[in-house]
Structure 1
Amino acid sequence: MSSTSEVGHAKNVANLQKIIQQVSTYSLYNPPIADITVASLQTLYTDANAKLTDVGDKRNANKNTIVARQTAFKNLSSTCTSIINLLEIVGLPQGTLDQARSLVRTIQGSSGKSNTPVEDGKEAPKSSSTSRQSFSSKAENFGLLLQMLSALPAYTPNEDSIKLQNLNSYHESLRAATLLVDQTESELNTKIIERDRILYTEETGVYAISLKIKKYVKSLYGATSPEYTTVSAIEFTNRK
């Protein structure tokens, strides 16, 4: 993956359009190689700009699923607390109760929380607690807790929110929310690869093409010419 910032990628594409507009005004600009003709450059710009748009769309989709996952998991801790509170009064063997408590502690982790505000669409910063569970791990352990509940005849809550059928539905919603984040992240990664390919591939990427344009203008007008000085000042950044 490129370490160039998102602003840097967009600037490269914007400057490609700028250099195309500039060389289009040069009467001598008639390159002998196809990939730096004005027509080819315009096609490259259109394709590169489309890849930037694709990345932006997939990034927004990923952010939206992250927010949705945060919302889905918001009540998980309090739900587990309600379950344990009921289990503590139904006369379970101590070993069974301890097992349920252990699962809940794993799901909930430490109560330590960060006061750092969460940026829009980003994950909440992790606390310094010993629990750094991923969302998928929390959902998995919640599923194990529900399996335990299904085997306990004494678990017969009157509250709808912790009835087993509703808990199973909630568990499925947690899994679905997590899978959507994974899916949109994979799609985003693919679009980033495609964008980087069109911007930074050797010989044919936007950065490589910009160097060819500048060298050709230099050969036409000379290193001290205003024509070359103008195009050489249009900056392009290679990935690091």
Structure 2
Amino acid sequence: MASTSEVGHAKNVANFKLLMNNFVAIGAPYNPTNPQLQLTFLQNKYTLSFNIQKSVNDLLAPYTMAVDTREQLFKPLNKELTKLRKAYKATEGVTAVELENLMTIIRKLKGEKKSKPKSQAETPDEAETHSTSQLSYDQRTNTLDALISLLQNTPNYNPNEPEYQVATYQAKKEAMLEATQKVAETFIPLNTARSERNKELYLADDNLVDIAIKAKDYAATILDTNSAQYKAIAKIKFRKR
């Protein structure tokens, strides 16, 4: 499913198509001297923009799935750690120092600020937001490795319950590493496609939104601004994001 922001970009592209159709309906009177406002250029601009936005949409799905998969792996961890503390405390011979060392690691794991990549709401510094989140998950996985090391080096820690065993946490860590790597791998092409899309729609000298606004201005010079035809064109909105 496309995010609210992706819908916004797609709306600009769709409105460009609608605007172009209105110009075709005008017929011969639509005859700008500016080559960037001529119908052939507009058609090429629309086709390119549509294809770029489609590429973003196609790449968004695997990224969103990777983010959700990672979240499902990390989400139960806090509750599991609460039970792990009790299992560790019940281990024969565990000292107050060892228990405090465990609690220090658990507090770090629970206290890490978890900022899910907002695949549903793009912002201008989206790449930075992703990097911050990625670092957060990397840090948690690294801390989990410290937890595993503590359990391995605690004499008599060998619970019968599988959910508290060292092997279980090692498997969790490997799954988390794999999930985090998948998020990174799917974000790179998505971020590249978004950059290309933003350039084409908003940043280039001949970006779609600026051309659309100029074309609407030109339409005002050849149509009666009180006419239904012009009012229909005037209602077509374009927004830079």
- TM-score, normalised with respect to structure 2: 0.73
Aligned match of 1:206: 208
Structure 2: state its 5+ residue gaps: 113-118, 121-134
Equivalent residue letter for 1:34: P
- TM-aligned CA distance change 1:154 to 1:6, over 3 Å: same
11-20 vs 48-57, which moves further = 48-57
Give the Cα separation in 2 of the matches to 1:194 and 1:97: 52
CA–CA separation in structure 2 for the residues paired with 1:225 and 1:202: 33
Deviation larger for 230-239 or 145-154: 230-239
Alignment partner, residue 68 of structure 1? 69
Q: Is the 8 A contact 1:199 1:205 kept in 2?
A: yes
Q: Could you tell me which residue of structure 2 aligns to residue 195 of structure 1? A: 197
Aligned length in residues = 217
Q: Does 1:229 align with 2:233?
A: no
Moved more, 133-142 or 15-24: 133-142
Q: Measured at CA, do residues 229 and 20 of structure 1 come closer, stay the same or move farther in structure 2, by a change above 3 Å?
A: same
Is 1:13 aligned to 2:19, yes or no?
no
Give the SS at the match of 1:198. Answer: helix
Do the aligned residues in 2 keep the contact of 1:199 with 1:207 (CA within 8 Å)?
yes
1:12/1:235 contact within 8 Å kept = no
Cα distance change of structure 1 residues 231 and 81 upon mapping to structure 2, 3 Å threshold: closer
Q: Structure 1 length normalisation: TM-score?
A: 0.73
1:101 partner letter: M
Structure 2: distance between partners of 1:211 and 1:78: 54
| % identical equivalent positions | 26
- Residue identity in the other structure for 1:192: R
Secondary structure of residue in 1 paired with 2:191: helix
Q: Please show how residues 178-193 of structure 1 align to structure 2 within 5 Å.
A: 178-193=180-195
Alignment RMSD (CA, Å): 3.2
Q: CA deviation at 1:198?
A: 1.2
Task: Give the match's secondary structure for 2:236.
Answer: coil
What is the match of residue 51 of structure 1?
52
SS in 2 for 1:204: coil
